[in-house]
């Protein structure tokens, strides 16, 4: 792929596992990445992220904690189907969920070439600092998933093949680890809060997030 790529971590560092996205992008920022890739921590600034996306990106990867009924620490890559531009997102400057992020982006005319969510099942989102043990163990798996998405996108050289192969290669990589069972799922709607204030997260069916792959970190 030739173009601009944004990897954004969101989350509240004062709500334990909600800081997952922030921690993942911190680790990614310490490692070399392909040209054209921006790694950024948006924390609780969801609206700022939306306005940044209006600048135009060929690939957008959002990293966040998301309860989907899996074992704590489960990492999943989810394909995002942007809502109609006519949809009216519910905007709250202090609590903007990924659904609202993509809804606001679409309503403002933004449309990345491809959007993915790298999500992790949280174990503890109560007030406090520091990730729980299963979510901390998931960090290297999420980092690897993002880096394989980026590598596959770069290998596509703008012909679209790299974008399509990204999720497939990530899935294959995680499946190679025998201690990390994978499980494919169907459509999921993850209403997630990446902002301060009361923590609101729930999982339902029939939404815009479709599982590409997921894996539970092993104990090694």
Domain assignment of residue 158, yes or no = yes
Q: How many Å apart are CA 70 and CA 6, to the nearest integer?
A: 27
Task: Give the C-alpha separation, 115 to 112, whole Å.
Answer: 6
Structure pTM? 0.73
pLDDT in tens, the chain (220 residues): 447 999 999 999 999 999 999 999 999 999 999 889 999 999 988 888 989 999 989 999 999 998 889 999 999 999 987 666 665 555 554 456 677 777 788 888 888 889 999 999 999 999 999 999 999 999 999 999 999 999 999 887 544 454 454 444 444 344 333 344 333 333 233 333 233 332 333 333 333 444 445 655 654 3
Q: Which residues, 6+ apart, have CB-to-CB distance to 99 below 8 Å? A: 89, 189, 190, 191, 192, 207, 208
Position 220 in a domain: no
Report how many domains make up the chain.
1
Residue 175 structural domain: 5-215
C-alpha to C-alpha distances, 185 to 124, 197, 206, nearest whole angstrom: 23, 31, 12
Assess if residue 118 is contained within a domain.
Answer: yes
CATH assignment at residue 73: 3.40.50.1450
């Amino acid at each position: 792929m030739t173009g601009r790529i944004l990897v954004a971590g969101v989350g509240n560092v004062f709500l334990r596992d909600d800081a997952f996205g922030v921690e993942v992008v911190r680790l990614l920022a310490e490692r070399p990445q392909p040209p054209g890739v921006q790694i950024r921590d948006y924390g609780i600034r969801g609206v700022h992220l939306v306005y940044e996306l209006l600048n135009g990106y060929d690939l957008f990867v959002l990293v966040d904690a998301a309860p989907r009924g899996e074992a704590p620490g489960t990492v999943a890559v989810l394909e995002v189907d942007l809502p109609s531009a006519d949809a009216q997102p519910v905007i709250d400057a202090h609590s903007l969920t990924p659904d609202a992020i993509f809804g606001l982006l679409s309503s403002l005319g933004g449309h990345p070439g491809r959007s993915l969510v790298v999500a992790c099942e949280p174990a503890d989102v109560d007030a406090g600092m520091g990730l729980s043990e299963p979510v901390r163990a998931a960090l290297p798996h999420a980092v690897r998933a993002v880096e394989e998405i980026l590598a596959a996108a770069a290998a596509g050289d703008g012909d679209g093949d790299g974008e399509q192969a990204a999720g497939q290669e990530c899935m294959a990589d995680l499946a190679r680890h025998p201690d990390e069972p994978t499980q494919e799922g169907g459509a999921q709607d993850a209403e997630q809060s990446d902002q301060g204030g009361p923590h609101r997260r729930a999982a339902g069916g029939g939404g815009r997030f479709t599982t590409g792959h997921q894996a539970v970190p092993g104990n090694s």
